[in-house]
A = this chain, B = another copy of it.
Amino acid sequence: MRIMGATIKDVARVCNVSIATVSKYLNGGNVREENRINIERAIKELDYRVNNFARGLKINRSMMVGIVVDSITNMFYTSIISIIEDCLHTKGYSSIICETRRQEEIRNEKLDFLLNKGVDGIIILTTNITKEQLEHYINRGVSIVVIDCVVNEADCDFVTTDNISGAYQATEMFILKGHTKIAIITGEDKEFSAAERLKGYRRALDDYDIPVCDHLIFRDSYDLEGGYKSFKKLVENKGCTAVLISNYYMAVGAVIAVNEENINIPGDISIICFDDLELSKVFKPKLTSVSQSTAEIGNEAVKLLLSRIDGSNSGCRIVRVPAKIIVNNSIKKMY
Q: Which residues of A contact B (CB under 8 A)?
A: 1-5, 49-54, 56-57, 60-62, 71-73, 75, 78-79, 81-82, 85, 94, 96-99, 101, 112-113, 115-118, 120, 140-142, 252, 255-256, 259, 278-279, 281-286, 311
Task: Select from chain B the residue with minimum beta-carbon distance to A279.
Answer: B282
Chain B residues with Cβ under 8 A from A73's Cβ? 75, 78-79, 82
Task: Select from chain B the residue with minimum beta-carbon distance to A58.
Answer: B53
Complex Cα spacing A112 to B73, Å: 26
Known: A53-B53, A82-B72, A279-B282. A1 touches B61 (CB 8 A): yes
A1 partner, pick from B52, B60, B71, B285, beta carbons under 8 A: B60
Tell whether, in the assembled complex, residue B99 and residue A96 are in contact, meaning their CB atoms are under 8 Å apart: no
Tell whether, in the assembled complex, residue A99 and residue B118 are in contact, meaning their CB atoms are under 8 Å apart: no
A80 to chain B, nearest CB (A): 10
Task: Select from chain B the residue with minimum beta-carbon distance to A66.
Answer: B96
Complex Cα spacing A115 to B311, Å: 30
Chain copies in the assembled complex: 2
Complex Cα spacing A85 to B283, Å: 32
Known: A57-B57, A118-B52. A259 touches B279 (CB 8 A): no
Complex Cα spacing A284 to B261, Å: 11
Known: A1-B311, A78-B73, A141-B2. A52 touches B117 (CB 8 A): yes
Tell whether, in the assembled complex, residue B60 and residue A57 are in contact, meaning their CB atoms are under 8 Å apart: no
- Looking at A4, A62, A99, the one whose CB has the most chain B CB atoms below 10 A away is A99
Tell whether, in the assembled complex, residue B115 and residue A252 are in contact, meaning their CB atoms are under 8 Å apart: no
A120 partner, pick from B2, B255, B259, beta carbons under 8 A: B2
Chain B residues with Cβ under 8 A from A141's Cβ? 1-3
A140 partner, pick from B3, B60, B255, beta carbons under 8 A: B3
Tell whether, in the assembled complex, residue B82 and residue A99 are in contact, meaning their CB atoms are under 8 Å apart: yes
Task: Select from chain B the residue with minimum beta-carbon distance to A112.
Answer: B49
A109 to chain B, nearest CB (A): 8
Known: A3-B140, A54-B57, A73-B75. A278 touches B252 (CB 8 A): yes
Tell whether, in the assembled complex, residue A278 and residue B281 are in contact, meaning their CB atoms are under 8 Å apart: no
27 chain-A/chain-B pairs, Cβ below 8 angstroms: A1-B60, A1-B61, A2-B60, A2-B120, A50-B116, A51-B57, A51-B116, A52-B53, A52-B56, A52-B116, A52-B118, A53-B53, A53-B62, A56-B56, A57-B57, A71-B82, A72-B78, A72-B85, A78-B78, A82-B99, A85-B98, A96-B97, A252-B282, A259-B284, A259-B285, A282-B282, A282-B283
Tell whether, in the assembled complex, residue A113 and residue B94 are in contact, meaning their CB atoms are under 8 Å apart: yes
Task: Select from chain B the residue with minimum beta-carbon distance to A94.
Answer: B113
Top 7 A-B pairs, shortest CB-CB distance? A3-B141, A53-B56, A53-B57, A259-B284, A97-B97, A73-B78, A96-B96
Complex Cα spacing A115 to B50, Å: 11
A259 to chain B, nearest CB (A): 4
Complex Cα spacing A96 to B67, Å: 10
Chain B residues with Cβ under 8 A from A279's Cβ? 278, 282
A49 partner, pick from B53, B101, B116, beta carbons under 8 A: B116
A142 partner, pick from B2, B50, B85, beta carbons under 8 A: B2
